[in-house]
Amino acid sequence: MIQDIYPHQYHNEYHPHEPQDTDYVLTYKENTVLLKEDYSFFCVSELNTKENLLYLFEIDDKTFYLGDVSHLSYTSVKIRDLRNLSNQVISFASLTGWQLYNWMKENTYCGCCGSKMENDPKERAMRCPSCNHIVYPRLNPAVIVAVINDKDELLVTKYAHSTYKQYALVAGFAEIGETIEETVKREVKEETGIEVDSITYYKSQPWSLSGSLLFGFWAKVKDSSAITLDENELSLARWITREELKNHLPSPIALTGDMMMKYVKGEHNQ
């Protein structure tokens, strides 16, 4: 999946420090990231100044900063195309930086008093110097649910209003006041009319395109209720066999593709 960059290692600890020449600079312009023409990262040494660089995170022994390389010769890559790059470190770092960039941009001004916010020196937070209001990076918890029926078929969907045209799984954001297991039950019921139980947690995935932390679950149909499609959200919801899905698997870069692969291999009950 997109966060699996082994043998490289992502470090999320917050240790802002003086930028080194060999550290990397990420620049975002509208819905693109600016990379070198060979699709590698710009280095700090290529900038005229080390000022105004904002600490983001580290991968291995390199630190990533938010900065401006737009005076250099660059290629711009659309954020939504980043997941298709063959170099997963470039994809993952650029997407994670994009999420932090948006968080800082959206919190330029304090939501309580309107003053200019500042990056906190001690933790990954934006702090208002006037009223001390503090904002941490926002994550939107969401679920991906693989529902299995008594014939061992998988419930697949297609989105009604999305450029993504392949088979998907039931998915949706957690609402305030519910547990993540309740999100699973509610989303499956809302989108397909089906009631589920035997809900089992599988694994999670950071998904910067929607600012989400995705939680993957397996679930079983509670009764033999028929599918009732939520046409506002979906264009299709149906049961599919392992044999048929085998020829329609989406990329394993996303949790949905990973879970479908598990189902096709018959490994979802382990």
What span, in angstroms and rounded, lies between the C-alpha atoms of 35 and 231? 40
Cβ atoms of 157 and 168 closer than 8 Å:
yes
Q: Does 112 bind Zn ion (CB under 5 A)?
A: yes
Write down the least CB distance from residue 113 to Zn ion, Å.
3
Cβ closer to Zn ion: 121 or 129?
Answer: 129
Among 53-61, 133-141, 192-200, 243-251, the segment contacting Zn ion (CB under 5 A): 133-141
Pairing of strands 118-119, 62-66: unpaired
Please, which of residues 72-111 interact with Zn ion by CB under 5 A? 110
Among 6-14, 89-97, 126-134, 186-194, the segment contacting Zn ion (CB under 5 A): 126-134
Cβ atoms of 26 and 56 closer than 8 Å:
yes
Q: Does 139 bind Zn ion (CB under 5 A)?
A: no
Write down the least CB distance from residue 46 to Zn ion, Å.
36
What span, in angstroms and rounded, lies between the C-alpha atoms of 232 and 130? 44
Q: Binder to Zn ion among 133, 189, 203, 246 (CB under 5 A)?
A: 133
What span, in angstroms and rounded, lies between the C-alpha atoms of 69 and 48? 10
What span, in angstroms and rounded, lies between the C-alpha atoms of 216 and 258? 10
Q: Does 117 bind Zn ion (CB under 5 A)?
A: no
186 φ, ψ (degrees, to nearest 5): -65, -45
Q: Binder to Zn ion among 81, 106, 121, 131 (CB under 5 A)?
A: 131
Among 41-49, 122-130, 161-169, 253-261, the segment contacting Zn ion (CB under 5 A): 122-130
Alpha helices in 19-69 (DSSP H): none
Q: Binder to Zn ion among 11, 113, 136, 248 (CB under 5 A)?
A: 113
* Residues with Cβ within 8 Å of residue 7, at least 6 apart in sequence: none
Cβ closer to Zn ion: 118 or 175?
Answer: 118
Q: Which residues of this protein are in contact with Zn ion, per CB under 5 A? A: 110, 112-113, 115, 128, 130-131, 133
